[in-house]
């Protein structure tokens, strides 16, 4: 028997292979079986001892708690079954903390057992290949493969035969506000709608676009155009106020108007540079203006 002590990692492998939490000799029966997705009493979930992140921004956590209270939890957490109705958190600590803050007593969770990583990976990859799978479900599966199976996007690309850019576009859906994720999950908007909304950085504007999609039944192309216009309004520099014309230029403008009989525009910038624009409505007017200029 190999007695060499194996160093614990920080993540899923550490949880699944730790001798302190091995369940091979324990009774793991209970209300829910491994492999299920179920609502679990939060009091029965132990913290992840290998969680590298120990600080969570309070304001962001409160916003997530408010969203959970309003929309519920869209992405279940993942837990490992330890014993009789006891579980250990694998991933989703932020969601768990926000659920507690929101006053929830139970939380939806994927239930796993020790050393089932390969089975999970196979199941998730097979699930992603389904033709009828909702885009949000695909995004969640991609994220689980990355988080729980510790594979890179490049490795994931090989496993599911999809480009890295495609995988990135799906995962970005998980950054959208909960209301938009719910609309996508419930097929009220399409993947194309969601991808267009992502290009708008302000969450409030994203929700405003969602509302317009639902009330006006906007097409993907219309939403893309709306997102582009919003982007331009943010990046464009504000128009510089025009410098007031001095009296002598006002007199020149009036003189030219009287001379040509057409509107004349005179502009000047802060450096003293400017331009004179003489308008015309037809060929006769431009010929008349040309005759005056030749004199």
Q: Which member of 17, 63, 93, 224 is catalytic?
A: 93
Minimal CA–CA distance to 235: which of 203, 198, 201?
201
Backbone angles phi, psi at 136, to 5 degrees: -70, -40
How many whole angstroms separate alpha carbon 269 and alpha carbon 179? Answer: 48
284 is catalytic: no
**In whole angstroms, what separates CA 20 from the centre of its chain?**
38
Helices (H) then strands (E): counts for the chain: 13, 7
Residues 6+ apart with CB under 8 A from 253: 245, 264, 265, 266
- Segments of the chain assigned E as strands: 37-41, 45-46, 77-83, 86-91, 106-112, 264-268, 274-278
Minimal CA–CA distance to 169: which of 185, 152, 153?
153
Q: Which residues are catalytic?
A: 93
């Amino acid at each position: 028997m190999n007695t060499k002590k194996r160093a614990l990692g920080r993540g899923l492998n550490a949880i699944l292979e730790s001798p302190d939490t091995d369940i091979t000799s324990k009774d793991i029966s209970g209300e829910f079986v491994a492999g299920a997705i179920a609502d679990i009493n939060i009091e029965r979930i132990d913290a992840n001892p290998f969680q590298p992140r120990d600080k969570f921004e309070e304001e962001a956590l409160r916003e997530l708690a408010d969203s959970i209270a309003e929309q519920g939890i869209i992405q279940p957490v993942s837990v490992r079954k330890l014993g009789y109705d006891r579980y250990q958190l694998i991933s989703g600590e932020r969601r768990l903390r926000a659920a507690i803050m929101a006053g929830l007593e139970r939380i939806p969770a994927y239930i796993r057992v020790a050393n089932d990583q390969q089975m999970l990976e196979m199941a998730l990859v097979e699930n992603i290949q389904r033709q009828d799978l909702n885009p949000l479900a695909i995004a969640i599966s991609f994220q689980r493969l990355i988080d729980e199976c510790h594979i890179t996007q490049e490795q994931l690309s090989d496993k599911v035969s999809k480009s890295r850019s495609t995988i990135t576009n799906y995962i970005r859906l998980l950054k959208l506000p909960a209301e938009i994720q719910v609309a996508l999950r419930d097929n009220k908007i399409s993947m194309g709608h969601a991808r267009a909304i992502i290009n708008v950085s302000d969450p409030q504007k994203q929700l405003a676009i969602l509302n317009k999609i639902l009330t006006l039944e906007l097409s993907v192309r219309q939403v893309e155009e709306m997102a582009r216009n919003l982007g331009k309004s943010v990046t464009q520099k504000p128009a510089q106020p025009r410098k007031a014309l001095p009296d002598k230029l006002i007199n020149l403008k009036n003189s030219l108007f009287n001379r040509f009989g057409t509107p004349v525009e005179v502009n000047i910038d802060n450096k003293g540079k400017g331009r004179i624009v003489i308008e015309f409505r037809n060929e006769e007017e431009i010929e008349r203006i040309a005759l005056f200029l030749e004199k």
